[in-house]
């Protein structure tokens, strides 16, 4: 499986609540800062940085979506 997002692309990130449940809070906008190697589970991972807060995260591709 290949990466579907590019470095410097802006995306939505759905925050995760306890036990992986999605939270009610609206999605935040992040910028992809790097594409990480695909690990053994086959899911592409990305390092993303918040546009509104000083937060960086490592997420899997299913945790982000395109703006719009």
Question: Strands 64-66 and 10-13: what pairing?
Answer: antiparallel
CB count, 10 Å around CB of 48? 25
pLDDT score at 28: 86
- CB–CB of 15/55 below 8 Å? no
Distance CA 18, CA 34 (A): 26
Domain ranges of the chain: 10-66
pLDDT score at 59: 94
Distance CA 11, CA 15 (A): 13
Q: What is the pTM of this model?
A: 0.82
The pLDDT tens digits of the residues spanning 16-50 come to: 666 656 655 667 899 999 999 998 999 999 999 99
Which CATH number fits the domain 10-66, given the four candidates 3.90.1720, 3.30.70, 2.60.120, 2.30.30? 2.30.30
The pLDDT tens digits of the residues spanning 7-20 come to: 999 999 977 666 65
65 pLDDT band, cuts 50/70/90, is very high
């Amino acid at each position: 499986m290949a990466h579907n997002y590019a470095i410097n692309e802006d995306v939505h990130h759905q925050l995760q609540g306890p036990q992986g449940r999605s939270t009610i809070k609206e999605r935040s906008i992040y910028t992809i800062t790097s594409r990480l190697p695909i690990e053994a589970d086959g899911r592409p991972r990305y390092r993303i940085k918040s546009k509104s807060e000083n937060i960086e995260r490592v997420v899997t591709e299913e945790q982000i979506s395109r703006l719009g």
